[in-house]
Amino acid sequence: MKDKELIKRSIEEIRATLPVGVTLIAVSKYHPAEAIEAAYEAGQRDFGESKAQDLKAKHELLAKDIRWHFIGHLQSNKIKYIAPFIHLIHSIDSFRLLEEVNRHGAKNGRRIPCLLQIHIAQEESKFGFTPDECLEMLAGEQWRTLENVEIRGLMCMASNTDDREQIATEFSAVQELFKKIKARHFSDDKKFSIISAGMSDDYPIAINHGSTHIRVGSSIFAE
Ligand SMILES: *Cc1c(COP(=O)(O)O)cnc(C)c1O
C-alpha cells in the first residue's frame, strides 16, 4: 500500500483530468481499510471490490456513505453478502444471474442496479455476454418481468495489450452496442445511462469512447 498522502494525491490528480459527468470508482480490492480511508479523506465515495465477502467486510467497517460497486465475477451463492446495500453490480454475465440477483432484491425489498458485462476482449478468460448474446437476451423481453433489478447500462474490459488502436476499437464497439440497446429497449428510461469502461492503463481511451464510469485500482493504491 502507498503512503496515505500519495493515495490522496493520486485521487486528486486523476479527478482533475476527468470531464464532468465521468465517475471515478476507486478499485480497492486487495487493499486494506486504511487505504480506503485515505481516499475517502480526499473526497472519494465510490469504491469497487471484486470479492463479495471482502466487500461486505469493508462495508461493515467503513463510512456508511460509501457507494460500493461490485466489479468481479459474481457467483450466485455470494449475492446474499452484498444484496442489502450494493450500489451497482457491474458484472451481470447471464440471464440466470440476473434472475438470482432479482430474487435477492425482492428479499431485501429493493431494486438492485445492475450493468450487463460485455465480452469484447480477445482473451478467452474474460466473462460476459458477447454483443449478440446480450442483444438476444434483451430481445427476449423476459427481463422486464424482473421487478427487483434495474438494468442501468453496460460494462466491459478491453484486451490486455499495448495496442491502443485495438483497445479503442473495443471500447468503440461497446459504445455502439450501448446506443443500439438504448434505442431498442430503453429509449424511455433515463436510468439506462452507464458505460463502465476503462482501468488504470486505458481509462483516457475509454472516456474518448463514451465511458461514464472508470474503474481505477493500481494507479491509486499500488506502489
Ligand atoms: C482490478 C480491476 C480493475 C482495476 O484495474 P487497475 O488496472 O488496477 O486499475 C478494474 N476493473 C475490474 C473488473 C477489475 O477486476
Nearest residue to 62 via CA among 99, 32, 90, 37: 37
What is the per-residue pLDDT for 1? Answer: 63
Residue 197 is which amino acid? A
- The structure's pTM equals 0.97
The helix (run of H) or strand (run of E) holding residue 193 is none
- Reference 46, options 7, 86, 80; nearest CA is 86
* Ligand 1: lining residues by beta carbon, under 6 Å: 27, 29, 50, 71-72, 157, 199-201, 215-219
CA 172 to chain centre: 17
Q: How far apart are CA 195 and CA 41, in angstroms?
A: 27
Contact 199, 221 (CB under 8 A): no
Counting from 1 in the atom list of ligand 1, the atom nearest the Cα of 218 is 8
Determine the pLDDT at residue 126. 74
CB neighbours of residue 16 within 10 Å: 7
Tell me the C-alpha distance between 73 and 2, whole Å.
26
- 199, 202, 214, 218: which to mutate for ligand 1, most atoms within 8 A of CB? 199
Cell of 96: 440466470
8 Å CB contact between 88 and 69: yes
What per-residue confidence (pLDDT) applies to 199?
98
Domains of the chain, CATH where assigned: 4-221 (3.20.20.10)
Going from the first residue of the chain to its last (223 residues), give the mean pLDDT of each consecutive group of 10, the final group possibly shorter.
Answer: 90 97 97 96 98 98 98 98 98 98 98 98 86 98 97 97 97 98 98 98 98 98 88
